[in-house]
A and B are shown apart, each in its own frame.
Chain A
């Protein structure tokens, strides 16, 4: 029996990340039900996502009867990395006295490291991309997103290359595994 179409709520750091994951959802026919991007403001957008994580998990679990409803959290790895961010998010649940994320629970966490721009550059085939330093402002890559139209094209190309990278970055490889939790996969 076919499972019902996946629906997903998204918690993320910024508009560019939203554009990327929404397009990814469209590619896999996952319906985006709601997006909560961090506001433009002072301070760290990753801190904002961390602080909203527990509430988002609680909200998702309040609808556990909807098996096809997922939560996708996207938080930049920066200098903390995938494991570090996952630990931070787990700590948020513990601090809020909420059960930890289950191994098959429909809550996926993407940690683009260093940032979403690292993934965009890598997935569009740019040379010399690694996760060890930020490249958002690097002159070699800025052409990929410094104009709105260019950024839009970059996102389309990156989404097309989401699952056919033969040498995925470690944070991308981790995200490919996470994506299965919420139906972001073929078939």
Chain B
């Protein structure tokens, strides 16, 4: 479980600190910093798990516009399988040439229960553990954590990386979810853009989940019968959807679906194939393109999965239905401090004795309170 996040000098997040609940809906005006917070988590994940270079991840353009500081910081505190981890990632721009994005490096530090496990400064990686420590030269723009092979000497480092890898965040974009599966992949992109490739892999790996997905889609898509991958070349498959109305079957291509239908299929795919492997599920405005009556059953299934598996659920929403449903766990609001422009966060506490809802509070402006 992610216990705390600290972000500094990233978009509107300046010395931003949040101790996270186990589940909540995050509300606030556009530009309040909600998505920036998820992006920061996603960047940490890309660095630690996928070994991406920091300059490929928006650095240094994502620095806070009104600050003139060379360093961006993302710090995380989390618990996973009985271990307590504290990690800090600092992306530093070399001031000798502020326009050269390649002149940057990362500084990292990872500790567990107060013991330093790993640090990386300017391309020198130090692994601490047991009686000895080792120094390894490495690319100053990448994390060595992504390259570590599992072994008895680095169990905790790998456990930390696995913990970060199990944080899944999604900001679906139905316009980018295509139906051509040109290859197989085990990773689903944040916008679900590669859903067809991912589905092609998952449907072969987990038949039980594929069956549950079909059952879900029969419930939520009128006339739905099945998803089918059709070969259109030796390498490529086309995702097609078969409908049955009044005993008459017809098939449409992925492009023949509405954006809402595409999104629902992809979201239920995530529910059945991905959530079992997640420790944290972050959802950023999933309701666009679908009706409230369509999204609440999906959210209920996600909440159910989160509760059963002790998973953390964080949802960004502007939608009254989603906000009020998810506020049964907790609702937090982000806003911009009128004096500084920096993002702030606070818990919403509706007055139940007055019949107040979280959405009632969410739609009030902070300076109205």
Contacting residues, chain B, for A48 (C-beta < 8 A): 352-353, 355
Least distance between A41 CB and chain B CB atoms (Å): 4
The CA-CA distance from A12 to B356 in the complex, in Å, is: 15
Contact size class for A?
Answer: 20 to 34
Partner pick for A39 among B293, B297, B308, B350, CB 8 A cutoff: B350
Q: Is B304 an interface residue (CB 8 A)?
A: yes
Is the CB–CB distance between B307 and A42 below 8 Å?
Answer: no
B225 contacts A by Cβ under 8 Å:
no
Known A-B contacts A32-B297, A32-B300; A39 and B353 likewise in contact (beta carbons under 8 Å): no
A51 at the interface (CB under 8 A from B): yes
A51 touches B355 (CB 8 A): yes
Q: Note all chain B residues with C-beta closer than 8 A to A33.
A: 293
Q: A15-B329, A148-B308 are in contact. Are A43 and B300 (CB under 8 A)?
A: no
List B contacts of A152 (CB < 8 A).
307-308
Cα distance, A38 to B329, chains bound together (Å): 9
B339-368 interface (Cβ within 8 A of A): 348-358
A residues 27-81 near B (Cβ < 8 Å) are 32-45, 47-48, 51-52
Nearest neighbor of A15 in chain B, beta-carbon distance: B328
A186 and B310 alpha carbons, distance in the complex (Å): 33
Residue of B nearest to A50 (CB): B355
Structural contact, B307 and A40, CB atoms closer than 8 A: no
Which single member of B293, B303, B349, B352 contacts A44 (CB below 8 Å)? B352
Complex Cα–Cα for A44 and B350 (A): 11
- State A38–B350 Cα separation when bound (angstroms): 10
In the complex, the answer to whether A39 meets B307 with C-beta atoms within 8 Å is: no
The answer to whether the Cβ of A19 comes within 8 Å of any Cβ in the partner chain is: yes
Q: Do A36 and B352 touch across chains, with their CB atoms under 8 A apart?
A: no
Whether, in the assembled complex, A176 has its beta carbon less than 8 Å from a beta carbon of chain B, the answer is no
Chain B interface, number of residues (Cβ within 8 angstroms): 28
Pick the contact of B325 from A37, A43, A147, A149 — CB < 8 Å?
A: A37
- Is B296 among interface residues, defined by CB-CB distance under 8 A? yes
Given the known interface contacts A15-B328, A18-B328, A32-B297, the answer about A41 and B308 at a Cβ–Cβ threshold of 8 Å is no
Q: Which residues of B contact A15 (CB under 8 A)?
A: 303, 307, 328-329
Alpha-carbon distance between A128 and B310 when the two chains are bound, in angstroms: 29
Distance in Å: Cβ of A58 to nearest Cβ of chain B: 14
Q: Mark A136-170, 1 if CB is under 8 A from B, else 0.
A: 00000000000111011000000000000000000
Interface string of B305-322 (1 = CB under 8 A from A): 001111000000000000
Tell yes or no: B324 within 8 A of A by CB.
Answer: yes
- The reply to whether the CB of B330 lies closer than 8 angstroms to some CB of chain A is yes
Q: Does A14 contact B (CB under 8 A)?
A: yes
B32 is an interface residue with CB less than 8 A from chain A: no
A39 touches B303 (CB 8 A): no
Evaluate contact between B352 and A45: CB separation under 8 angstroms: yes
**Is A22 an interface position by the 8 A CB rule?**
yes
Closest Cβ neighbor of A36 among chain B residues: B324
> Hey, which bits of chain B sit against chain A, CB under 8 A?
293, 296-297, 300, 303-304, 307-310, 324-325, 327-331, 348-358
- Residues of A near any B CB (own CB < 8 A): 14-15, 18-19, 22, 32-45, 47-48, 51-52, 147-149, 151-152
> Can you list 22 A-B contacts (CB < 8 A)?
A14-B328, A15-B329, A18-B328, A22-B304, A32-B300, A39-B324, A39-B327, A40-B328, A40-B329, A40-B330, A41-B327, A41-B350, A41-B351, A42-B352, A43-B351, A44-B353, A48-B352, A48-B353, A51-B354, A148-B309, A148-B310, A152-B308
